[in-house]
Amino acid sequence: MWTIDGDQSEKIYSGIHDSIIEKDDHVEFDTWVHGGSMTGVMETLNRAIDTFVDDICQEAMKLKDLTLTKVLSALQAKKRGLKLTKEEIEEKKLEIEKKLCDLKVLSEHCKKKSEELQVAEGYRFISPEATMEGSMHPVATAFNTSLCLLAEKLKGDIETATESLRQAREQVQTLAQLSESMMEKGIKLQILHMDNDSLLFCMNWFLRYEHFVFLTF
C-alpha cells in the first residue's frame, strides 16, 4: 500500500494538465475539469496515475538494483577481506613453524654444549608441554663450591707467603746483629797488607760463609 504526498499530488495535477492540453489545445484546463466531460477527465486521470505508478515502480526497481549492487559489492569486499585474512594466517603459521624449528636446533645445540661442560642437571629440554624455566640450583651450587675452594687456596698461599716473609725478616735481623758484633770486636780484613795466599784464603772463607748464609736464608 502506498500514499500520495503533496509533491506527488502536484506531479499528478501537472500530468493531468499536460495530458488535457495535449488532447485539446482550445479547452482551458480549469473549465475542462469543472465543466467539461467527466469521462475524459477520468480517463486522463487514470492515464496520469498509471504513468505516475510506472515511474514509481521504475524508480523503485532502480533503487532495488542499486541496493542489490551495493550489497553484492559489500559481500565481495568482505569475501576478499576474509581471503586476505586467511592468507595472513597461513603466513603467520609458517613463520611460527620456522621459529619452532629454530628453537629445536638451538635446543639441541644447548644440550650438546651442556654435555660438554658436564652440566647435565642444569639443562632442561624445552617442549610445548614444559616450561621455559630450568633448574639452575645445581649449577649455582657447584660454582659456589669452586669459589670457596679457590678462596681457601688463596688464603693458604697468603699465609705461606706471610710466614716466609717473617722468616726472611728474622734472618736479616740475625745477619745485621752478627755484622754489628763482628764490627764491635774489631775484626777487620787488612786486604792491602796481605799476600796472595792470605788473600785467597780470605776470599774462599768469605765465599763459603756467604754460601752458608744464603743456604740458611
Closest CA to 19 of 43, 38, 37, 36: 43
**pTM of full prediction above 0.75:** no
Rounded Cα distance between 98 and 100, Å, is 5
- Tell me: the pLDDT tens digits for 91-135? 888 888 888 888 888 888 777 777 776 655 544 544 444 444 455
Cβ(199)–Cβ(191) below 8 Å: yes
- Tell me: the pLDDT tens digits for 57-94? 666 666 666 666 666 776 666 666 556 567 777 888 88
